[in-house]
Structure 1
Amino acid sequence: MKKLLLAIAVFANGLLMAQNTVSISVEKPEYRAFATKINDLVHTRLDAGFDYSRSYLNGKVWITLKPHFYPTDSLQLDAKGMNINKVELVKGGKNIPLKYRYDSMVLNIKLDRTYKSNENYVVYIDYTARPNDYKGEGSVAITDAKGLYFINPTGEDKTKPTQIWTQGETEGTSVWVPTIDKPNQKTTNEFNLTVPSKFITLSNGKLTTQKKNADGTRTDSWVMDLPHAPYLFFIGVGDWAVVKDSYKGKEVSYYVEKEYEKVARKIFGLTPEMMKFFSEKITGIEYPWIKYSQVVGRDYVSGAMENTTATLHQESAQQNARELVDGNEWESTVAHELFHQWFGDYVTAESWSNLTVNESFANYSQLLWFEYKYGSDAADFENINDMQTYLTRGDRSRDLVFFNYADKEDMFDAVTYEKGGRILHMLRTYVGDSAFFKSLNKYLTTYKFGNGNAHKLRLAFEEVTGKDLNWFFDQWYFGSGHPKLDISYGYDAPTQTAKVYIKQTQPGDKLFKLPLAIDVYNGSNKKRFDVWAENKADTFSFPVSSKPDLINVDATKTTLLEKKDNKTLAEFIHQYNYATNYIDRREAIDAAAKNVKDQTGYNLLVKALSDPYWRARSRAINSFANAKLDDATLSKIESIAKTDANSTTRAVAIDLLAKQRNESYKDFFVKATRDSSYSVAGAALEALGLLDGPRAFAIRNELSKDDNRGRLLTALTNVTVQYGDESTFDFVSDNFGEMPLTQNKLRMAETFGNFLTKVSNKENFRKGVEQIEKLFRQDIPSQARAQFEPQLNALLKNIADKKDSAGQKELADFARSKISK
């Protein structure tokens, strides 16, 4: 699963400031063991029809089971919020009624006799699933838990397609089919789906037959003949366009809304190449399933989900051709979900406590793919970006493998994902590429179609490498936190010795054992030393012929840590020139940004404007935000704004030119508002607004007739708010309402709130306030709402105060009435 995780935000004095997520606290820790296996699922056959008017699934299911080890005369199935009509045993060609108890969550069945571990039996259940009547709690990452979703089922909303899709993780499959809804169960399945003939279907495995029915419906039969976990079951029904591709004779397909049919390959078309890369270069195991489909669902409750052979993506995956000019922002998610077909589907975490053996690998696959496809700079960015995500959002108090969670949904966080991915990166660095990938193959081969955990992963690595890795797994998998290092340097001229002093300054008594590469530079000459830092304070000495120009600790930049690196600006400049790793260059750019008034710092930033990696160029441009620029630098930035190969970098350059308030740029900004890149056009429109608001608003009126997204849509809204009046309410309100739940929408809430201070129409004002309230009190997952309540109250108070100042007491009172007490 690619999680949908919102950073905690704070609105204060008109500013949006990111904050750390609140750590999970457990008052009475409970050990979360993997589910005890009394009965094993063997095969699940489902005949399903759909009542669109009531959003019901009418099902008949035949479940083949057997006792796991001990004899048993009973069966317990998860079945949430259903109407159970019949429970019978299929025996000798007949159905025999069985006694059962049902409490709306669990179905307890008394079998006709005691069965032994080698005896299969089949239970038949006639039922109705009522997902909208089931009240389950979601999480910050997965915002709802009702398992089966009818989207616009009666077609009343003309802006949305009619769809059905399912979301099984964590234990939502049992809302629409009785099963043993635990990740350590594996079963084959056959789903026979009867739907209106105008729709197409998608499910796990292969479409084997399609039968037209006399009532205008069609029954599609999907067969999954390899075992997988129930949370990976999937049903999709809708009016999608299907774009076919292939990989080594296997079907690869992309299910998208019809307006995206022509760009589907630009969004998902790298999938066959990814399959080849992951099969041949990473796992050594050919893609293990019969097909691979990807489908986009409206109003999806998370980022994406790796249902076996049938990944479901949220609608943000659907980007139009103009959005894709700025790059496919969904490419990492495509890689993430595909890699789950090995790590998560082929070998599945035995429990939610061990979720990271699914999610850390999927997270790390993004780096592996970018490294292969785009080079080391792109991989280094993925690494440092995810490291910063963990450092700013991760719960530092919990272990990676966590047996004491309050709720299984809590496991979908920056520790399981981003920290887990960084730990794999450290493990790869420590054992080496060949051993790392052979160990992955060993793990997958040993536990195929079964379950894995961190201990099994360690054993696979130890068998391949011959190394005892208990220290690594105890520290990183079964421990919490990360090191904080204070690094300083010395040089003893008489003995020609360079020294590195490393202190571990993290709170508490815990010390980390850290294998570190240290590079010592004299000019362009580099010598590497491999050391272990494992004490509160370590000193490392190196023989040198003269004082080094640079000593670069953690030269691979793969260690998960926070650090205070006491280098001089000259040393950072040397690092930029010779260390070459993107993270090394980024650190140097940041050091120069802090010293931009120093000519040497300024000069380094100018040099970085020509860096081969666009993110480094963009970072250098942003570093000039508060600097006085000379003519040569301005000329260089003007050139970047007009000609850089990367559109995002061009937009960043336009943002900096906008700060100059130079009338000579006006014609360029006007022209750039028509750029094919949304990012460039949006930056140009906002830049023009700083020079000529009426002209920007006039262009806004022209552009708003088009399909605008991304940065341009934000710019149009900002210009409308700043220079428009309440006659543009529908434009602002509609755009805000249609935005998916992302950090951008939280930012837009403040903009929308400022706009409402201009609105005098009572109906529009009330609608706008209620839209903002809905975002914070309904759309944001329930687990996070309390953390956002102060921000909502501050925003409402600001609106109310300004309405009071304008003498609009009734509107002020309405806004104030929404403030929580």
Structure 2
Amino acid sequence: MKTLYTAALIGSISALALTSAIAQTAPAQDDPALKIYRETTPKYSDLVHTKLDVRFDYKKRYMYGKEWVTLKPHFYPTDSLSLDAKGMDLKTIAIVKNGKNVPLKFTYDSLVVKIQLDRTYRNNESYTVYIDYTAKPNEFKAQGSMAITDAKGLYFINPDGTEKDKPTQIWTQGETEGSSVWFPTIDKPNQKTTDEISMTVPAKYVTLSNGRLASQKVNGDGTRTDTWKMELPHSPYLFMMAVGDFKITKDTWKGKEVSYYLEPKYAPYARDIFGFTPEVMEFYSKTLGVDYPWNKYSQIVVRDYVSGAMENTSATLHGDYVQATKRELLDDYYGQGRSTIVHELFHQWFGDYVTAESWSNLTVNESFADFSETLWAEHKYGKDAGDAHIQDDRQNYLSQPNLRTKDLVRFHYHDKEDMFDAVTYQKGGSILYMLRNYLGNAAFYKGLNIYLKSNAFKNGEAHQLRLALEEASGRDLTWFFNQWYFGAGHPILNITYKWDDATKTQTVYMNQTQDGDAFILPIAIDVYAGGKMERKKFWVRSKTDSLVFHSAVKPSLVNVDGDKMLLAKKTDNKTLEEYVFQYFNAPLYLDRFEAITAAAKKQTDAGARKVIIAAINDKYWELRIKAIKAADLTNDNVRNDAQPVLVKLVQTDPNTLVRAAAITSLGKLKASGMANLFKEALKSESYAVEGAALAALAQIEPANAMSLAKTYEKGSNGALKDAILTTYATSGSDEQWAYVYNGFKEGQPQTQFNLMRNYADMIGRLKNNAYALEGVNSIIDFGNKYKKYGVGPQVVQILNGVKEARQKAGDTASVNAIDKAVPDLSAK
């Protein structure tokens, strides 16, 4: 599963950072649930085959199902069976004997059905239980999480067709244990079963499920029955169904069907969105030494999805954020869409082919999928892109201090959903990145190959991964797994340096200041001296360690962690002069990133300015953007050097996001001489460039920008739409209200965060009190939705500002609405 909560909730309302707010929402350490040992679910019975025959009641939001589930005792003889079955009506439960259904006794508490079998069965015997049932997902209340907003398993989207511009769809979401809302099963990851699913649906609709489409039968009542068969075992949470008006675009990889299911209006862009999938399948298959293991690979995009995406076996389901036109994709270099596509594909090996045996060991699913995003980035876009991606992962994890106490593999948690966090994803991916560097590519991927082949169509855990990597490399890895997989936290390093000219000795002091034991760190130190670079390798084993070596001359730079692999919070006490040298001589993305960060703080220094100006033309586009944003154009020396470079970037840089950043930077100068440059940029096909140009123009020609915004309303999207909203919210009046209000209500959290202050100011100056009340209520709705992340006080502050303006306008309805909402939003 790919979770989008971090991306969706990164933003700011004034000084509000929701990632920090999220970090404060962890369960208290005295939570009794944290004291429960979450053992791997015992296996009394094994699923063998699951056959379903289902049809849907769109009006009631019910699913009528018939199931034939074949099982056998795992080891010990048994005369009973327990199945997860959440919120269902169970009509008949019977044992199938010689083609006949013989009723069985059972008890049911709305979550688990306990069945008394007709006799005792041994583990060399299988039996089939027949169940006639009704699934009622909308009547089942399940707690969601930050990864999954709810967990009712089966979703009816616009089933009555009453929501304008929204298609009618049905789809499922199994992870973690939502499949048992739509069919009785042993809903645990350590179960595996083959399956056959027959769906009877309106004939106008398309269906998708796991495996192959075995048959289609047209019925006489306007319906059609599609039967899908998955003939290789997989876990129940990976079962899926989808029904709706989708257009299918077909591709192939080594003779296997690769297909893309999209809403009709996006079907022309199917290959633009998903067309690189066969290339990724080939790369992952070669890298792992295991060909893509399933008979087909489909990707489907649905509305109102409750997470980012889900790696259902052979049939990944995506949220509609991946749907985009060719034009919209111009600005997506390796954004959420493409990274999610490769993330879910890697799960077909790590998660589906070999599945975590428990949620405690979720790392063997999600850490690998997270790591795969970096793996593809460096393969497809180059090492800088891979290094940038993994650095984002590190910072995502390191920015959440509440996570320091959580082990990667953990058997104590409040709820299984809590496992879907930045420890399992970003920290786990960063740990794999370090492990690959330590072992070397060949041994690392050989170890993954052993792990996959040894556990094919079964379950795995971190210990099996360790053993496979040890077998491949011949190295003991217990120390690594103990501290990174079965321990918590990360090193907090303070690095200082001392050069002794008399003895020609360089000392590096490594001080680990985190609580608890020292981390064992194999570390590379690159020494730049006398025009040469020499790498020295050390092991840091103590919380205070000194690394000493000789050099003929004083080094120009001592670059600790030369490979830039460590997952650590570092304070590196280099001089600015050393950072300047580092930018121009050390080769890696993070070398240059660190130097730009240091230079940005001291732009009165000539060396720092030299770094900033050079970095505006860095070979890697994200560093160009970083330098552009860092450049202090209020400093005359910086502005004189940077301005012509920025103008050139606007006109010639091949990366649209760099061009947009350059326009934004130049716009802050509010120089009328730039107007023609911005107007020319408004002709770009890139929404990012257009949006930046409109926003920049609004700062020097606000009336002209207002007029131009009107002409761009139709068909605007992404950054351009955000710029129109900001322009209107800043300078507009009642005439523009409907556009701004709808844009805010329909916007993603990031859009709402970015617009919030200007939006509130606009509400304050509206003449129409009814419009103002709409706006006030939309801010209140936002506050209530995200209150659990700690945004209440900031929203209250914004509302109080609106209240003051509305009081002056004599708008009692808006003032009363604010007064009513503030106590709840202020409450903890």
Cα distance in 2 between the residues matched to 1:584 and 1:144: 42
Relative to structure 2, which stretch is displaced further, 536-545 or 140-149?
Answer: 536-545
CA drift of 1:238 comes to 0.9
Aligned to 2:702: 693
Find the residue that maps to 1:812 and give its secondary structure: helix
Q: Which residue type is aligned with residue 538 of structure 2?
A: V
CA displacement at 1:348 relative to structure 2: 0.5
2:547 is the alignment partner of 1:546: no
Distance 1:134 1:322, change over 3 A: same
When the two structures are superposed, what TM-score results if normalisation uses the length of structure 1?
A: 0.97
- 1:353 maps to 360
Q: Name the CA distance, whole Å, in 2 between partners of 1:17 and 1:178.
A: 39
Alpha-carbon offset, residue 786 of structure 1: 5.6
The correspondence for 2:659, drawn from 647, 650, 656, is 650
CA distance in 2, matches of 1:630, 1:351: 57
Q: Which amino acid aligns with 1:434?
A: A
- Whether 1:294 and 2:294 are equivalent positions in the alignment is no
Equivalent residue letter for 1:737:
K
Q: Does 2:762 match 1:759?
A: no
Q: Deviations over 1:330-374 (max 9, x none)?
A: 111111000000000000001111111100000000010011111
CA RMSD, Structure 1 to Structure 2 (Å): 1.6
Hey, what's the Cα distance between the residues in 1 that align with 2:411 and 2:275? 39
For the 8 Å contact 2:71–2:128, the answer to whether it is kept is yes
Distance 1:389 1:13, change over 3 A: closer
Deviations 1:100-159 (A, max 9, x none): 111111111111111111110101111111111110010011111111111111111121
The Cα shift of 1:743 comes to 3.4
Instruction: Tell me if structure 2 keeps the 8 A contact 1:614–1:646.
Output: yes
Contact 1:155/1:161 (<8 A) preserved: yes
2:376 corresponding residue in structure 1: 369
SS of equivalent to 2:822: coil
Task: Give yes or no for the alignment of 1:503 onto 2:506.
Answer: no
Could you say which residue in structure 2 is the equivalent of 1:82?
88
Deviation larger for 541-550 or 300-309: 541-550
**CA apart distance, 1:11:** 6.8
Which residue of the partner structure matches residue 673 of structure 1? 682
Q: CA deviation at 1:12?
A: 6.6
2:777 corresponds, among 762, 770, 773, to 770
Decide whether aligned partners of structure 1 residues 630 and 786 sit closer, same or farther in structure 2, where only a CA change above 3 A counts: closer
1:469 matched to 2:472: no
Q: Decide which moves more: 202-211 or 792-801.
A: 792-801
User: Are 1:242 and 2:248 an aligned pair?
Assistant: yes
- Give the equivalent residue in structure 2 for 1:98: 104
CA distances 1:41-81 after superposition (whole Å, capped 9, x unpaired): 10000001011111111110110011111111111111111
Question: Separation in 1 of the partners of 2:575 and 2:653?
Answer: 32
Give the partner amino acid of 1:324. Answer: L
Contact 1:10–1:788 at 8 Å: present in 2 too? no
Q: SS of the residue aligned with 1:25?
A: coil
1:444 to 452, 467, 471: 452
Equivalent AA in structure 1 for residue 796 of structure 2: N
Which secondary structure does the structure 1 equivalent of 2:327 belong to?
helix
User: Which of 130, 134, 147 is 2:153 aligned to?
Assistant: 147
Q: Which residue of structure 2 lines up, in the alignment, with residue 785 of structure 1?
A: 788
Which amino acid in the other structure matches residue 686 of structure 1? A
For the residues of structure 1 that align with 2:441 and 2:382, how far apart are their CA atoms? 16
What's the counterpart of residue 806 of structure 1? 809
* SS of corresponding position for 1:458: helix
Q: Match for residue 266 of structure 2?
A: 260
Determine if the alignment matches structure 1 residue 5 to structure 2 residue 5.
Answer: yes
- Residues 765 and 805 of structure 2 are in contact (CA less than 8 Å); yes or no, is this contact kept in structure 1? no
Counterpart selection for 2:602 from 591, 595, 602: 595
Query: 1:584 maps to what in 2?
Result: 591
State yes or no: 1:479 paired with 2:487: yes
Q: Where do residues 630-649 of structure 1 align in structure 2 (5 Å cutoff)?
A: 630-649=639-658
Number of the residue aligned with 1:420: 428
Whole-Å separation in 1 of the counterparts to 2:592 and 2:130: 63
Encode CA deviations 1:532-559: one digit per residue, 9 max, x unaligned.
1121211111121111111100000011
Tell me, in whole angstroms, the C-alpha distance in 2 between the residues paired with 1:565 and 1:494: 25
Secondary structure at the counterpart of residue 399 of structure 2:
helix
Structure 1 counterpart of 2:57, from 42, 51, 54: 51
Deviation at 1:578, TM superposition (A): 1.5
AA in 2 matched with 1:358: N
Output aligned runs, 1:219-230, within 5 Å: 219-230=225-236
Find out whether 1:818 has 2:821 as its counterpart: yes
Q: 1:16 offset after TM fit, Å? A: 5.5
Change (3 A) 1:523 1:161: farther
Structure 2 CA distance for aligned equivalents of residues 786 and 593 of structure 1:
31
In 1, Cα distance between the equivalents of 2:356 and 2:188? 10
The equivalences for 1:527-542 within 5 A come to: 527-542=534-549
Mapped partners of 2:611, 2:235: distance in 1: 54
| In the alignment, structure 1 residue 573 sits paired with structure 2 residue 580 | yes
The match for 1:736 is 744
Instruction: Mark the runs of 5 or more structure 1 residues left unpaired by the alignment.
Output: none
Deviates more, 1:497-506 or 1:15-24: 15-24
1:474-515 Cα deviation digits (max 9, x unpaired): 100011110011111122222222221111112x23211110
Query: In the TM superposition, what is the alpha-carbon distance from 1:808 to its structure 2 partner?
Result: 2.1
Counterpart Cα distance in 1 of 2:304 and 2:150? 11
Verify the 8 A CA contact 1:593 1:623 in the aligned structure 2: yes
* Preserved CA contact (<8 Å) 1:10 1:791: no
Contact (CA 8 Å) 1:524, 1:578: kept in 2 or not? no
| 1:513 aligned residue | 520
Identify unmatched segments of 5+ residues in structure 2: none
The amino acid that maps onto 1:473 is F
Q: Give the CA deviation at 1:793.
A: 2.7
* Secondary structure class of the residue paired with 2:722: helix
| Contact persistence 1:137–1:144 (CA under 8 A) | yes
Partner residue of 2:28?
Answer: 25
Q: Quick one: structure 1 residues 12 and 717, their matched pair in 2 at CA, closer, same or farther if it must change by over 3 Å?
A: closer
Q: Which residue of 472, 485, 497 maps to 1:489?
A: 497
Structure 1 stretch 387-396 or stretch 555-564: which is displaced more? 387-396
State the Cα deviation string for residues 80-114 of structure 1 (Å, max 9, x = none): 11111111111111100111111111111111111
Check whether the contact 1:149–1:165 (CA below 8 A) recurs between aligned residues. yes
**One-letter code of the match for 1:154?**
D
- Evaluate the alpha carbon distance shift between residue 90 and residue 17 of structure 1 in structure 2; reply closer, same or farther with a 3 A threshold: closer
Contact 1:625 1:656 in 2 (8 A): no
> Could you tell me how far apart the structure 2 residues matched to 1:292 and 1:777 are?
40
Query: Partners in 2 of 1:751 and 1:458 — Cα distance?
Result: 53
Alignment TM-score, normalising by the size of structure 2:
0.96
Secondary structure of 1:590 counterpart: helix
CA distance in structure 2 between the aligned counterparts of 1:719 and 1:153, rounded to whole angstroms = 37
**SS in structure 2 opposite 1:159?**
coil
Report SS of the residue matched to 2:89: strand
| Distance in 1 separating the partners of 2:620 and 2:377 | 13
Identity, in percent, stands at: 49
Question: How many equivalent pairs are there?
Answer: 813
Residues 1:128 and 2:147 aligned together: no
The answer (yes or no) to whether the contact 2:13–2:754 under 8 Å persists in 1 is no
Amino acid at match of 2:711: E
Equivalent-residue separation in structure 1 for 2:184 and 2:154 (angstroms): 13
